[in-house]
A and B are shown apart, each in its own frame.
Chain A
Amino acid sequence: MEKTLNNRAWWLVAPVFFVVAFSAVVPLMTVVNYSVQDTFGNNQFFWNGLGWFGELLDPSTDLGGRFFAALWRNLLFSAIILAIEVPLGILVALSMPRDGWKVAATLVLMALPLLIPWNVVGTIWQVFARTDIGLLGWVASALGLDYNYTGNALHAWITIVVMDVWHWTSLVALLCYAGLKSIPDAYYQAARIDGASRWAIFTTIQLPKMKRVLLIAVLLRFMDSFMIYTEPFVLTGGGPGNATTFLSIDLVKLALGQFDLGKAAAMSLVYNLIVLAVCWVFYTVMTHAGSGRAETEIAQ
């Protein structure tokens, strides 16, 4: 059958193009536009050039100081939760049942925390950690611990980290489980014949086979934790002081609390660029992770 080349079908994309332009491109242009201006309200704008960017990127200024503080805080948070959730997720996936009725039961149980909306998770933990009516807080106090997540920065951090681990380790575990399920039995049989230890099976069969899903898990968890807003906002509101004010929380405070549109726009652009760069690196690594090795294997 002869097929004629006809590009007119591209016009069918036009509605999407206009919707995206209206809902994403023009708003993004607005943010860029605000980032070079200042406003005192009343919809009066004044040209400020690159002033906000200069201030934002200079840690000695008020704006730069709070931006870098929130950035380091957020990176530290992401590093901590990745360091906990990835190994823990692998461990959970390794101990999940492989067959029988237990599989379905485990999968449902594991999926439960993922189905709870962010603000509900925040609320659950806010109540759970209270020393007067919350089980966790009450037990901690009863054990003689001076636990107070609203007053003590370290306690607030521990509570937020544990909350995130509670909420998202399942995702890592489920991804790893999918990776583990794709390993054919023959690999394990071969390992048994060779008398491989449990550790050797893990490092030479399971971990390499999980590499791709682990990359996806790390990417998802990094991006999610780097952009986290709702849960810490509900749990601590960024406090005590600014101890748990992560980038999004600070951005919202700046944009909606203080209505400093120019500063907030500059901050969100830099934030966006960091996210974009990290995404690109992860995406590139993910899409080319296997290919490089395949080439060398063929060469050998």
Chain B
Amino acid sequence: MDETSLLPDSLAWMAWTWQTAAFFATIALLLAIFTVLAVRFPERERVGVLRIPTTRGDRLFITLLGSAFICLGWMAFASADLRGDLTFALPICLVYALAVFRFV
């Protein structure tokens, strides 16, 4: 089925895909969650392995940026048949995220 046919005609010319939507929805959701968290539990700076004070939001930024590079690294160095599939790269990102929130 043509995915773009689900969209109204006025948006079809932008050729949106659900994958792009899912990607940005995830980021928007993360930002929303962290905003709510920041309101409910005010952020406090802390110094970790990077020796710089970071708040929860800073750690989210470091996580997202680092994850992007982990995925790029995966697409650059994984064997040719796994390169286009991030199924294994995303768990690495998750481990990285946990490490950032624990140690940075």
Contact = CB atoms under 8 A, between A and B. Distances in A.
Interface residues of B, number: 24
Contact of A280 (B16, B20, B51, B61): B61
Contacts of A33: 14-17, 20
A288 B84 contact: no
A292 B47 CA distance: 11
B76 A58 contact: yes
Contact of B69 (A47, A53, A277, A284): A277
A50 B69 contact: no
B62 to A, nearest CB: 8
B65 interface: yes
A273 B69 contact: yes
Contacts of A276: 65
Interface in A3-39: 29-30, 32-34, 36-37, 39
Interface string B54-97: 00000001000100110010011000000111100000000000
Contacts of B86: 50
A296 B84 CA distance: 48
Contacts of A280: 61, 65
Contacts of A292: 51
Majority-rule SS of A interface residues: helix
Interface in A37-69: 37, 39, 43, 45, 47, 49-51, 53-54, 57-58
Contact of A32 (B24, B51, B85): B24
Contacts of B84: 49-51, 54
Interface of B: 4, 13-17, 19-20, 23-24, 51-53, 61, 65, 68-69, 72, 75-76, 83-86
Q: Which 4 A-B pairs have the closest CB atoms?
A: A57-B76, A45-B15, A33-B20, A54-B83
Given A29-B24, A273-B65, A277-B69, 16 more contacts: A32-B24, A33-B14, A33-B20, A36-B19, A43-B13, A45-B15, A49-B84, A50-B85, A53-B72, A53-B75, A54-B75, A54-B83, A54-B84, A273-B72, A280-B61, A284-B52
